[in-house]
Amino acid sequence: MSSHHIVRDQQEPALILHRLDSFPVSHLHALLEWSPTVICCEPAIDKYTSLGHKLDFALVSLNHFESWKSRLDDQQPVKIIAIDDSHFLMTGLTVLQKEDHRAVNIITDEESIFDVLQLATQWLRQLDLVVFTEKQKFLFVKHETFRKWLPAGARLSLMALNENSQWHAVGFDEDVKASHYQELDVIKEKEGEAEIRCSHPPFVVVEDLDY
């Protein structure tokens, strides 16, 4: 069984595994490459541990606590936290904040993404957050300007968190200026740097992932 229990300085983003069933294993391994602190929610524990990985925290239902204690015996040292409801993600974010983490990657599924994004917006003052599903990456941008080098044909979806937001996107098929659009799609015609400005940050940049 591989282990990532090494001394960390909280520089690398921690990882919360909320829902894992449909997530590509190769990309999971990429997110684990720098040995992040790993919090595994109950629905993801079996798949994650079956891949031979170690976890740091297991968030489980209170009525399953004793069962998980025995099932995770080979994961020691592991902290098992019992929760009396299904607020696994909220608990995971709280744990990481108390552990002085500043950045967190979250893996969930397409069915849960709306609820996860809603919850994530409540944590933007405390944490830098990126959410992954099996098909997309959701990056919360806290500043007015976002820049990235993109390949030709790349498509981004932009989601404002303020309905009065004004967009200015440069370096795409057409430069875009738009007011009062909460969602906007832009496509990169040629490889190169692209720039997006939003008048009312934070906002969300959504990338389609090609595994």
Q: For 99-140, how does the pLDDT look when each residue is reduced to its tens digit (9 = 90+)?
A: 999 999 999 999 999 999 999 999 999 999 999 999 999 999
Q: The whole model's pTM is what?
A: 0.91
pLDDT on residue 60: 95
Q: Which of 157-168 are b and which e, b meaning 16 or more Cβ less than 10 Å from the residue's Cβ? A: ebbbbeeebebe
Q: Return the CATH number of 14-134, one of 3.40.390.10, 3.40.50.10240, 3.20.20.140, 3.40.50.1820.
A: 3.40.50.10240
Please give the backbone phi and psi of residue 204, each rounded to the nearest 5 degrees, phi first: -120, 130
pLDDT on residue 179: 85
**Mean pLDDT, range 171-200, rounded to an integer:** 90
Are 146 and 170 in contact by the 8 Å Cβ rule? The answer is no
Q: For 166-175, how does the pLDDT look when each residue is reduced to its tens digit (9 = 90+)?
A: 999 999 988 8
What are the sequence ranges of the domains in the chain?
Answer: 14-134, 145-208
Q: Please, what is the average pLDDT of the chain?
A: 91
Is the pLDDT at 93 greater than 70? The verdict is yes
Is the pLDDT at 1 greater than 60? The verdict is no
CA count, 13 A, side-chain hemisphere, 115: 12
Is the pLDDT at 5 greater than 80? The verdict is no
